Structure 1
Amino acid sequence: MRKPVKKVGKKMRKSDFEERFSKMVEEYHKAKEVLDSLEEGTAEYAKKKKQCDSLFANAERFINSHQ
C-alpha cells in the first residue's frame, strides 16, 4: 500500500505574513510622506492621495483575509 500524500495547505507562515505586511506598511509610509510634502488641491496631490488610499486598502484586506 502507498503512503498517503500530505497535502500542503495554503496557510501562510507567521514570518512570511509579518514580512509581507511590513513591506506593505513601509510602502504606505513612503507614499504618505510624499503626500504630506505636496500642496493640497493639486493634481499630483490627488494622484498620491488615491495611491495612499489604495495602499491602505490593500493592507487592510491583507490583514482581514489572514486572521
Structure 2
Amino acid sequence: LEEGADIDKVDGVGWTPLMEAVMDDMPELCAFLIEKGADVSIANERGGTAAMLVQKFGRESMVKYF
C-alpha cells in the first residue's frame, strides 16, 4: 500500500482483498484494510459484499468492522 497498491483491486471474479480476508477468517487483516480505506460497498460478480460474506459465513469476530 505504501508504494501505491490498489487496496480495492478486484480479481477475475470481482473479489477484493477485503473479501479474501473475510473468507480466510482473518479479522486483523479485515480491520487493517478497512482502517486503510478499503471500500466495504464493492460487490463481487454475484452481488455479494464483504459485509454479506461476514454474515453468510458467520464471521462473528468481524461484524464490528462493518
TM-score normalised per structure 2: 0.28
Structure with the larger helix share: 1
TM-score by structure 1 length? Answer: 0.28
